[in-house]
């Protein structure tokens, strides 16, 4: 399987504006933001889609929300939206699980 765009960012082969990083996660600013603040929280371990999450991944997935909360707090946002896209039909374009965290404007419902 070819390296994903996110693996290349994690390996510093491609530049990114990093908002947070630790040994399990990296959070970057989206290069095509859909809100004034648009962060992607990415586990460093590759899981292609939500459909590939296994029982043992619960802690890793839960930690993504902890990273989202931390980054949004650091950026001064308490109102934000979190989104996982799962599969091409849901507009997932990089098949390395990532959580979109959007803030800085009012959101409507239903989305998309």
End-to-end Cα, the chain, rounded Å: 31
Query: Residue 74: how many CA atoms within 13 Å on its side-chain side?
Result: 11
User: Within 10 Å of residue 100's Cβ, how many Cβ atoms?
Assistant: 19
Selected catalytic residue, list 38, 77, 96, 98: 98
29 is known as an active-site residue: no
Which residues are CB-contacts of 83 (< 8 A; sequence separation ≥ 6)? Answer: 99, 100, 102, 111
Question: What are the catalytic residues?
Answer: 98
């Amino acid at each position: 399987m070819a390296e994903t765009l996110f693996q290349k960012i994690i390996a510093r082969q491609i530049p990114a504006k990093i908002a947070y990083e630790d040994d399990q996660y990296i959070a970057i600013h989206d290069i095509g933001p859909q809100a004034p603040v648009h962060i992607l929280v990415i586990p460093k371990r590759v899981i292609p889609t939500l459909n590939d999450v296994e029982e043992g991944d619960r802690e890793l997935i839960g930690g993504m929300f902890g990273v989202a909360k931390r980054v949004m707090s650091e950026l001064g946002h308490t109102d934000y939206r979190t989104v996982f896209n799962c599969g091409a039909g849901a507009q997932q374009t990089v098949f390395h699980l990532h959580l979109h965290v959007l803030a800085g404007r009012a959101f409507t419902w239903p989305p998309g």
